[in-house]
Structure 1
Amino acid sequence: MTGSRDHRLVALFLEMLAAEAGAATNTLSAYRSDLMLASATLGGRLTDADSSTLAALGEDWRALARSTVARKSAALRRFFAFLADEGHRADDPGAALPRPGTARALPKVLGHADVDRLFATIEARLAVAHPRPGDLRLSALIELLYGSGLRATELVSLPRSAVHPEQPYMIVKGKGERERLVPISDRARAAVIAWRGHVATDRAWLFPSGKRHLSRIRLYQIVRALAVEAGIPVDRVSPHVLRHAFATHLLAGGADLRALQTMLGHADIATTEIYTHVDASRLVELVNTRHPLVELAPRRG
């Protein structure tokens, strides 16, 4: 049956990644998605693809972002290396896949006016005698995304007791299981407390859904729906864009880069430094208003 061999060998490959390489759940999910999309594109014959077929597949990716192409190519190259190592095919055609540069892309920027529109939309929903639980949840989610700069995974997996009514911070477990202190504003704490009253005390998560917590995909959908309601183009808003807004707006307001690195949970400050690109206008303003030469009379010809 067309595609059944692809499914079987992809499943074996993912089992190997989990058992031998200790791949994380998110990594396995991304690999599965990329491999099965490639299989569908090739009519269920990914495992039989030759070099020319993979080169053509790479050409189909030309319109995609370089980071996306790099990820897809890496997934397929590793898959074909596995097939060759395990004897499922005699050759490894993975070298035909593209190897785009890995230049770091600048983050999308959401301005203060757009953020204000998002919160105004939420406030309009809450301006009733008895706000709906879903709107209280939305308020808590957006307050934490923009107010504390959490990653999507960190946010949806917060335990029910993560936010204390009297503490201006919370402990978050981020990448690599590293814990950090994250500041939380008074309004964010109030939003969380209002929402938590609708979460049963026996639930493990602050944002439960079914037997687990809210998924990252569902969070993405919630944020996009809010953008539509606020009249902001959906391609400009996502949970990660709100995290970027937290960082860029803090930096523009005078936050120390090292402090920002700690709040964001970046292991390398080079990752944090990418946000300094949005501060060019502020730097120009500082030079024009604060530099000692400003106080000197201009030269006359």
Structure 2
Amino acid sequence: MGIQFHQFRKKKPWVVTWRNPWTGKRHTQAFDDEALAVAFEEAQAEIAAKERALLRKARKQKTSQSRISVKDLLESYFRLAHSNPVTIRQAQYHASHVISAFGHRLASQLDRQDILNFSEAQHLRGIAQITVNRRVSILRAALNWAVCNGLLATNPLRDLRLPRARARRIAPPTAREARAILDVSAPHVQRVIILGLCAGPRIGPSELFRLEWKDVDLAAAMLRMPSARKNHLEDGRDIPIRGDLLPILYAWWRHDSALGIRHVITWGGRPVRSICRAWHSALERAHINRRIRPYDLRHAFATYALAGSADIGSVASLMGHVDASMILNTYQHVQSAQKRAAVEAAPDILGLANRGQKLPGI
């Protein structure tokens, strides 16, 4: 960049030359007055300095974008993009399988074949397609977040299409299975079974394992179940205690009060976080080979309440669902007897009972 004086006839004598730092092209501008040329040259020098700084920043950002690993990306995503602790814990569990597969890989170098390989490996381990889709979706959401926040230039999985999958429905425990598990379970698991089937809470630290005796009003036959932090406006919901459960709760309360125990579900006097091992041991002792989860007690509550003619709205409210359609879509595992009753419920408008022997082919 500089100023030159040229004595040309019929032309402006002062010429400023400069080079665009973005394109590298050389430019010139002529002026009649030296002061105007100097002011223009100074302005172009300042602009060029700012443009070079922007170029250095862009190059540095591009370098950092190309160096962020999948593991670092997911950790940043959970730390900065989420505030719901329940959502974070659930997503981190699924993301851990993604990290195990290619956490060391650079996020910018992921491609469709990586996801296909990951999906195949998950299927070989017996993981359902719906779970695989959830894990890949968490990764793709993190990549989208990284693009929005300048950590990546583009999402390499932006155009990826996941195969459709249906949720695997696990039938809740039958009455026979529930009694068999109850008879051989440890005392704290027995409490989980009884409250799960009679109140329909989420089985785990988000709800049932947080329940304390101060939340149980035996005189009013009402308990205040802590609500999971899933877009709920309230911290808990009121659930009536059924009459045949009251004497059992009284016995539990007397036992725990004598020992100074605060929580309803405890092991060795201490609150529990999981009953996974004790639950599977109970299934083995009950000689139950099919898959039944503690969470299926909640499913059973909805299924049998609806089978007993409870209205959907009340069941949804008791279970902490804002939308009653969630009950129909997820929790109502209709039994064979209910299906047959539904078929037989329609009137015989064609008079088939009388015409059956007269129809052709019979």
TM-score interval w.r.t. the shorter chain? 0.7 to 0.9
When you count strand as a share of all residues, which structure comes out higher? 2
Q: Once the 2 structures are TM-superposed, how far is the Cα of residue 145 of structure 1 from its aligned partner?
A: 0.7
- 1:93-150 CA-to-partner distances (Å, cap 9, x unmatched) read 123654243655544232121112122324xxxxxxxxxxxx4323222110111111
**Distance in structure 2 (CA, Å) of the matches to 1:111 and 1:143:** 14
User: What are structure 1's unaligned runs of at least 5 residues?
Assistant: 123-134
Which of 100, 110, 119 is the matching residue for 1:58? 119
**Distance in structure 1 (CA, Å) of the matches to 2:298 and 2:242:** 15
Alignment identity in percent?
Answer: 22
**Aligned pairs (5 A) from 1:142-291:** 142-152=193-203, 153-174=206-227, 175=230, 176-178=232-234, 179-196=236-253, 197-198=255-256, 205-207=263-265, 213-215=271-273, 218-233=274-289, 235-274=290-329, 275-276=331-332, 278-279=334-335, 281-285=337-341, 288=344
Q: Which has the higher contact order (CA 8 A, sep 6+)?
A: 1
| Matched pairs, number | 278
**TM-score of the superposed pair, with normalisation by structure 1:** 0.75
**Distance in structure 1 (CA, Å) of the matches to 2:154 and 2:346:** 65
* Aligned counterpart, 1:30: 90
**Distance in structure 2 (CA, Å) of the matches to 1:7 and 1:213:** 33
- 1:4-31 CA-to-partner distances (Å, cap 9, x unmatched) read 955444332221123xxx3x11221233
Please give the secondary structure, in 2, of the residue aligned with 1:239.
coil
User: What are structure 2's unaligned runs of at least 5 residues?
Assistant: 1-67
Mean Cα displacement is larger for which, 157-166 or 184-193? 184-193
Which of 159, 183, 188 is the matching residue for 1:137? 188
**Distance in structure 2 (CA, Å) of the matches to 1:276 and 1:251:** 7
Tell me, yes or no, if the aligned pair for 1:160 and 1:205 is still in contact at 8 Å.
yes
**Distance in structure 2 (CA, Å) of the matches to 1:172 and 1:59:** 41
Larger Rg: 2
* Aligned counterpart, 2:81: 17
Distance 1:90 1:192, change over 3 A: same
Which of 92, 107, 110 is the matching residue for 1:47? 107
RMSD over aligned CA atoms reads 3.5
Does 2:189 correspond to 1:109?
Answer: no
Distance 1:17 1:225, change over 3 A: farther
Mean Cα displacement is larger for which, 47-56 or 221-230? 47-56
